[in-house]
Chain A
């Protein structure tokens, strides 16, 4: 049995697009035939659940019963990868809770693969957050995600400041989510389907949809670039080291 993987997608500010990133991750693992489940912490009505209703459950990470629901099932669930979309403002406290229940300890021992996708906002406040979370996370696989999806003039702050925070986390990697055309993004929102379904011109129940070919093209191109970033940081290898080593044996 492969070791379960938990990916925390969080930001300490709302509106930086963390749910969008979580959606691209779910689509990415889907494309790699990696069974995935997701938890949406935006109780009571999660955005992530709207796009991926079949594999998403809405939870409250601060409640013990929901923590059990997520972490006690890691070994037994069919899904290899668990994506948790952490509501704005809860990243630090979630990480603290993970420390308290000994989860981070298991991650350190290598029983669980743990990764954090930290979605960056444009203000310095969210950078201070890096320092705080870095303290808790330690050597988890830490990804700093610059999300340009809705904005082109995003990172206007001083690179020196940014680097000083960035360097606080050993081995942190940067991921850039490129801009997606506004109208294309909006249409996916309206359709309420995963990005891959929109590209494949499918509706919420897999029925044929009537999406613009141009918009589908833009989304396909964009998603390809996002996945290119995930490929670059070897995300699949990270969550499925076993499969990867098999591939290597076959290739060797």
Chain B
């Protein structure tokens, strides 16, 4: 114990990080089907720390203290269940209560346990959206309301998704009691997608609070690095995903102006881009080029790298970007990729060539209601000098724009057209 004297302050997000470490470690000891019990036990351990650390001083090894309290808490609950004869198989040998000395666990084991849990989250029986919520809860230590705030959902919806994930894990418990990461390696594409979606959720979220969006991106990068440090996860796809995340994160802050408004790529101050993050991203991009694999992450990282390396907006290699969007379309067909390719073509060959690309596709109904579809068309017509059509599309985009920042951006465009005509 430290002390006498008041307890020291804790590092930022210490409890949240500990939660995300202890739940996977305990779930390995007691079985993944008992994950909810482990979550409750860690919750209790943190509460005990809040009650006793300020009064009695902080233990020398805080993590071991929390582990010991949570471990004994799970054990106590299992013993109570055994007495009342539910839930616990009598043949199962329960471990003895642990004292501080035994509670020491190795850092690389924690990482393995966290990674195993990430693969457990990617269980194909769990819908993808529940997987993401579940990962945010048990690996990042966010509470239900915090997840709701970050994903722009109601707490009730988040709670339902969590329960769906937990019940799926219980139903498939035989398969899941002590799975090795190697046995779950075929889930790697799903795991990568969870990390990717976490990142894009943070990067492009409608959430106005920058710090909150940043946090999701940081968590995604942390999980991506965890994956990259394990033999099962250290594949070119993972490196490509990390490259993409670092190259996007490097430009995170320059997208916002002093008043919190959203800035277009051409308006951003490139000197604000984080050179260190760009360098890290480029290193991962280089590593991702091993082998024959080419995934959507490769294409998207390549596009991000082109933007990061361009000295100015005008001197961007738009031809290369248009080519990368075409490759992206091949591995992950989506009208959004087409839309972005059209934007690159507009810069490279002009608005007519870009409009030809967009006029050639039959947009699905959801795309017609998507504000970027109209925003892009409006901008292309404006460049062609077709004020009437430009105004129609930009007005429609303004009506559908999800955030104030995006609405303000579109209003500026409309005002510019009104002034010039």
Q: Do A and B assemble together? A: no
- A interface residues (Cβ-Cβ under 8 A, vs B): none
